[in-house]
Structure 1
């Protein structure tokens, strides 16, 4: 997961939030399937429909054309976070304490990149994840991708 720049996130937030949606996160993937992809995750209490995604995409496209915060061509994708919701920042980690998470690090720590376990908490600049009875401190700046494990 490549988080978008702070400037790009603010441009997107300026469109999404006034429309009544929560901005979950923004990714910019260069070289994605031969091109560039701007992926925007939105949510709201009653859930997200295809019409919600289309409305945000339409508004956001116009603003991005005017603001032009990205070089070159890219595809825009507006999506709900889904059941395996991505986690982008400390505030979101705080919200999901007590839930199972999948975390991928870059670079690996002690030869390990992937952790699946219980999110125990957030301290300073790291999260605590319990995997098989052992607690691992994972630094926020080393997290490449983090997602909730769906509960059924």
Structure 2
């Protein structure tokens, strides 16, 4: 059985009664680290991570799903973790993003909206010899290779 698939089932089962929480990613690394990223519309508490870790760990041990020794890590995505799901984009509306596009260019702006097809960001565009203007631009998900939230310490 696929380890990641089973872990996804276990996490979904544990957070089924918590509509504010959602699974972002599950990865089993070659070094024996099973990493689970969980996010929440209003963030994720340590107690949520502990509960998920206990639930997943208990069932993996009971079922003997993973034969070798492994470390189970449950956390929320850090600030430097790229956005992966539509729900993460929607959670970050009105925040500044850095978006890498498949053609190699980079765009920065405030996230205005996100739907199944892509995102709309408001960019400050300055043409030579003119005043900067705010422009809203739609970017399809197909054109995006990576998106990160920009953190301002002002």
TM-score tier, shorter chain, comes to 0.5 to 0.7
Write the deviation string for residues 59-93 of structure 1: whole angstroms up to 9, x where unpaired. 1112344384x897654211134556753322332
Bigger Rg, structure 1 or 2: 2
CA RMSD of aligned residues (A): 3.9
Q: C-alpha displacement at 1:36, in angstroms?
A: 4.8
How many pairs were matched up?
140
CA distance in 2, matches of 1:102, 1:130: 12
- What is the aligned partner in structure 2 of residue 117 from structure 1? 109
- Which of 87, 99, 103 pairs up with 2:95? 99
1:79 is aligned to 2:75: yes
Q: Judging changes above 3 Å, is the alpha-carbon distance between structure 1 residues 138 and 73 closer, same or farther for their aligned structure 2 residues?
A: farther
Tell me if structure 2 keeps the 8 A contact 1:121–1:129. yes
1:129 is aligned to 2:121: yes
Tell me if structure 2 keeps the 8 A contact 1:43–1:81. no
- What is the aligned partner in structure 2 of residue 9 from structure 1? 8
CA distance in 1, matches of 2:25, 2:15: 11
Q: SS of the residue aligned with 2:45?
A: coil
Task: Map 1:44-83 onto structure 2 (within 5 A).
Answer: 45=42, 48-49=45-46, 51-65=47-61, 66=63, 68=65, 75-82=71-78
- Which of 34, 37, 41 pairs up with 2:38? 41
Give unpaired runs (5+ residues) of structure 2.
126-134
Q: What TM-score, normalized by structure 2, do the two folds share?
A: 0.60
Q: C-alpha displacement at 1:14, in angstroms?
A: 0.9
Task: Map 1:24-35 onto structure 2 (within 5 A).
Answer: 24-28=23-27, 30-31=29-30, 34-35=31-32
- What is the aligned partner in structure 2 of residue 146 from structure 1? 147
Q: Specify which structure has the higher proportion of strand.
A: 1
Tell me if structure 1 keeps the 8 A contact 2:99–2:146. yes
